[in-house]
Amino acid sequence: MPLPHRCFPMRAEAAGHTTLVKIIDKDLDGEKMQAIARRWRRPMSEPGRHRLRLDFGNVEFLTASALGHLVVLHKEAEALDGRLTLYNVGAMVYEVFAATRLTTLLDVRQGTPRNFEDPIDKGFR
């Protein structure tokens, strides 16, 4: 079931223990990333809902502030023994994560979920 958000175009749905969020905007700034964090902080803290996946397929640009919010969201998920995964990340955006060495901290994937080897991804489309 899609879960709407008023601040900017995105689509979300619950898939088992995971919340999937597709970011529609091409530009991801700190304000938009903060809106995502606020929206998903509560469901992520519910028992069995500690996995958040962000589909970056449309994102072409992100700010340093957005990167900071991603790090905070990652740490919050980790504190709940959860996981934040960024997937479908384009080559240019992936370069930003690599240049800032955030690929060593965050789970940043260029592929789509059906290409992942992680067992929790089985059946995730």
Count the domains in the chain: 1
User: Do the beta carbons of residue 66 and residue 37 sit within 8 Å?
Assistant: no
Residue 56 placed within a domain: yes
Residue 80 placed within a domain: yes
Which of 29-33, 35-39, 91-95 shows the lowest per-residue confidence on average (mean pLDDT)?
35-39
* SS3 of residue 120 by DSSP: helix
Residue 18 placed within a domain: yes
Residue 112 placed within a domain: yes
Per-residue pLDDT tens digits for 45-80:
676 667 889 999 999 999 999 999 999 999 988 988
Structural domain range at position 87: 10-121
Residue 58 placed within a domain: yes
Residue 4 placed within a domain: no
Q: What is the mean pLDDT of the chain?
A: 81
Kindly report the CATH number assigned to the domain that includes residue 42: 3.30.750.24
Residue 5 placed within a domain: no
User: Do the beta carbons of residue 62 and residue 29 sit within 8 Å?
Assistant: yes
Per-residue pLDDT tens digits for 98-113:
999 999 999 999 987 6
State the pTM of this model. 0.79
Helix H segments across the chain? 30-45, 64-79, 91-99
Residue 31 placed within a domain: yes
For residues 22, 26, 29, 35, the Cα torsion angle rounded to the nearest 10 degrees is -30
